[in-house]
Structure 1
Amino acid sequence: MSTTEQVHSPEEIRANLAEFVEQQTKSAVATDLDLFGSGLVSSLFALQLVVHVETAFGVAVQGADLKLDNFRTIDAITDLVVRLRA
């Protein structure tokens, strides 16, 4: 079964993203923490986030959606995924 066939609620998406970020940063992260403003992650990590979002949730992040504000917090990424899957 591909990821695009699986149903992910916003809560499941948020939990998946939090787990991914915490594994990568080795830090507990609040879902509203500014990942980049806090200095916790780098611009290279932004690319890893995009790849994770696309593969984990079966979406394509392109064009106007590739802006930093969509990846600034776990909550913002969750909103992006929900919107792209609608």
Structure 2
Amino acid sequence: MNKIQTQIKAFLSRFFGNHDLQVDEDIFTLGFVNSMFAMQLVLFIEQEFQINIENEDLEFDNFRTINSLANLVERKTAKIVL
């Protein structure tokens, strides 16, 4: 697990109780996500990684798993560096 994945897992684990969330588990399918939590997740990603989540980024596939969230962060931070 890389640093981004570790930070995301640490955040999510605070809300998922005793469930040992894996990097490829779908958090929507697990039933842990409601609309309020989805907004908290977006805010966490923006603040933690200093990126802006745009409307076009707000697709379920970008937020389903730790891996997909980490990929989103990596894509967004790569644009900042360029």
The two structures have a TM-score, normalised by structure 1, of 0.83
- Equivalenced residue count is 77
Structure 2: runs of 5+ lacking an equivalent: none
Could you say which residue in structure 2 is the equivalent of 1:17?
8
CA RMSD of aligned residues (A): 1.3
Distance in 2, matches of 1:25 and 1:38, equals 10
SS of the residue 1:24 aligns to:
coil
Distance in 2, matches of 1:41 and 1:22, equals 12
User: In the TM superposition, what are the counterparts of 1:59-70 in structure 2 within 5 Å?
Assistant: 59-70=51-62
The two structures have a TM-score, normalised by structure 2, of 0.87
Could you say which residue in structure 2 is the equivalent of 1:83?
75
Could you say which residue in structure 2 is the equivalent of 1:36?
28
* Distance apart, 1:63 and its partner CA: 1.7
Work out whether residues 59 and 85 of structure 1, in 8 Å CA contact, stay in contact via their aligned partners in 2: yes
